[in-house]
A and B are shown apart, each in its own frame.
Chain A
Amino acid sequence: MKRGTRLLCVIVLCLLGAAILIPFFSSLVTLAHVVDVGRPTPHVLLVAASIALVIFIVWYRMYVSVWWEDRRRHNPQAHDLDVLVHRLEQAADNAFRVAASAEAVGISGRRVRRAGRVALRAQKAVSELTWVRRHIDMQPPPMNVEDMQTAQTARSVVLRNGWRTLDRTLSVVSEANALVMAEVRHRSRSAAATLTPRVSWAVRGLIYAAAKLLPAPYSGRYHEEWLSLLYEVPRRIGRVRQTLSLLLGTPRLWWTLRRSSKGDLDHWIT
């Protein structure tokens, strides 16, 4: 916090304190005046009203806190239910989304079908849990121990089923999601491979030069073969490495090709 802001806060707090303390002392003075005069002045009425307001606020806060405590004591699983409902809703949404994207991508595997089924099951569990949650809100607190135990057991069963459904949904969603993502990645890679000219002109030039160093009958074949090789190397650094390696290997290849017999030539070139 900056120094100026801190100073401003102190001034505001001082003013507030003064605003509280000044009426308090003035009310004491006024009460003494009432006792002396025998009738209430407007100032006294205002002070009485503010005191009543403060008492009401304190009472209300106490009442609300007591009510919350009471509710929590009688419904210990309410908070868990809230959390579970929220997480299940999210999981069901994710499962539906994954199933929809799988359909859009065109995957129709076992895992994707399972994701769709699980999404439906999660949604059903959500509605069940929401119903139980409303029931908890509307139900009066149990009057005896037996009622309380029965209610708690029933809720525990629902909660346990809900958590199990959530676990199953999450695992299936992650599996199906991985499948969809792998397919999407594969397709985007293929699309990129189809659409983008990936071998740069510099690499093409080097390959052309390397192929030209070979004996003339083999030059065309190796030029085409090496270009197709570089076309399938995924990263630029990999293509550069392969190009350098091919350049370094060209003298050895030239030596091998130079020694090859004339009779084999036709088979080689075609």
Chain B
Amino acid sequence: MVKGPRMTRQTQAVLRQALVEPAREWYGLEMVWATGLPSGTVYPIISRLERCGWILSRWEDPAEHEAEGRPRRRYYRLSADGAEHARLALAKARQTRTVPVPWGSLRPGTPGATQ
């Protein structure tokens, strides 16, 4: 089993967007527009998720893109396991989000004294 991807904010944004409709297929540019992230950030994330098996991909059928007169797209979708893993990972990331430390607690105490 490949280890899960690093849950950066950008990865979370991609997963959150993919989980809006887990069964739906999307292509790279669609994700770029939906998340507002640059394509140079989105593609490495997609490839990482694909490597982990969270995302499946396929080329578009020739009938679809030839009818519209454009090059074929690469479609992605969450796998069944991937959707579950993504949900858990997002929930975990939400829990472990660092709480800001209040300024008062940063004051150094006297060495040896209990606070």
Contacts and interface: CB of A to CB of B under 8 A. Distances in A.
Nearest to B37: A245
B17 interface: no
A249 B38 contact: yes
B32 to A, nearest CB: 8
Interface stretch (A51-59, A124-132, A180-188, A219-227): A219-227
Nearest to A261: B2
Identify which of B28, B29, B39, B70 gathers the most chain A CB atoms within 10 Å of its CB.
B39
Contacts of A260: 47, 51
Per DSSP, are chain A's interface residues mostly helix, strand or loop, or mixed?
A: helix
Nearest to B47: A256
B73 interface: yes
A257 interface: yes
Contacts of B70: 193-194, 228, 231-232
B62 interface: no
A249 B40 contact: yes
A249 B50 contact: no
Contacts of A27: none
A231 B51 contact: no
B72 interface: yes
Given A221-B74, A245-B38, A245-B39, A232 B44 contact: no
Interface string A243-270: 0111111101101110111001000100
Per DSSP, are chain B's interface residues mostly helix, strand or loop, or mixed?
A: helix
A242 B39 contact: yes
A268 B50 contact: yes
Contacts of A256: 44, 47-48, 51
Interface in A59-74: none
A153 B32 CA distance: 65
B40 A247 contact: yes
A104 B38 CA distance: 41
Given A227-B71, A245-B39, A252 B44 contact: yes
Interface in A208-245: 221-222, 224-229, 231-233, 241-242, 244-245
A246 B47 CA distance: 13
Contacts of B48: 256
B69 interface: yes
Interface in B49-92: 50-51, 68-74
A19 B75 CA distance: 93
**Lowest 9 CB-CB distances: which A-B pairs, in order?**
A249-B40, A245-B40, A228-B71, A245-B38, A194-B69, A252-B44, A253-B44, A225-B74, A248-B40
Given A229-B32, A245-B38, 14 more contacts: A193-B70, A194-B69, A194-B70, A224-B72, A225-B74, A228-B71, A229-B27, A245-B41, A247-B40, A249-B43, A250-B40, A253-B43, A260-B51, A268-B50
